[in-house]
Amino acid sequence: MEEKEAIRTFKALGDEKRLRILSLLRQGERCACVLLEDLNLSQPTLSHHMKILCDANLVTGRREGKWVYYSLNVHQGDVLQQMIRDLMTPSGDTAPDDAGRCC
């Protein structure tokens, strides 16, 4: 995952409502109308959150008639897990003499 994509993803995850949306989608695909009811949001607010989640590739949407059905992008979850593992694994690039030294 590239740095810009990681930033976009972490920003998408940094909102309580969007985390709630992801939690609801763990149960399976949901119509926007169902999400509106479950979250007690206005349609424009839900659209805003869904755009952020879709732009971060965390959620995919498919149109059926006038409604959009959303689901988790499981592949992106795998990519995110690997990125977090990579971030939290020491790289070993620092020479032993320089480790932890300031200036």
* Number of domains comprising the chain: 1
Q: Does residue 18 sit within a domain?
A: yes
pLDDT in tens, 12-50: 999 999 999 999 999 999 999 999 999 989 999 999 999
Q: What is the CATH number of the domain that holds 72?
A: 1.10.10.10
The Cα–Cα gap between 30 and 61 comes to 9
User: Is residue 29 in a domain?
Assistant: yes
Query: Taking a C-beta distance cutoff of 8 angstroms, is the pair 29, 71 a contact?
Result: yes
Residue 90 lies in a domain: no
Task: Classify residue 42: in a domain, yes or no.
Answer: yes
65-75 tens-digit pLDDT: 999 999 999 99
User: Is 96 a domain residue?
Assistant: no
What's residue 102's pLDDT?
A: 76
Residue 44 lies in a domain: yes
Residue 3 has a pLDDT of 83
Strands (E), the chain: 30-31, 59-64, 67-72
Residue 15's identity, in one-letter code, is D
The answer to whether 9 and 57 are in contact (CB under 8 A) is: yes
Element at 75 (helix H, strand E): helix 74-88
What pLDDT shows up at residue 94?
A: 60
Domain span holding position 39: 3-85
Report if residue 55 sits inside a domain.
yes
- Assign residue 92 a region (left: φ > 0; alpha: ψ between -120 and 50; beta: otherwise): left
Task: Determine, yes or no, domain membership for 72.
Answer: yes
As a whole number, mean pLDDT of residues 49-77 equals 95
Write out pLDDT tens, residues 78-99: 989 998 898 899 987 665 566 6
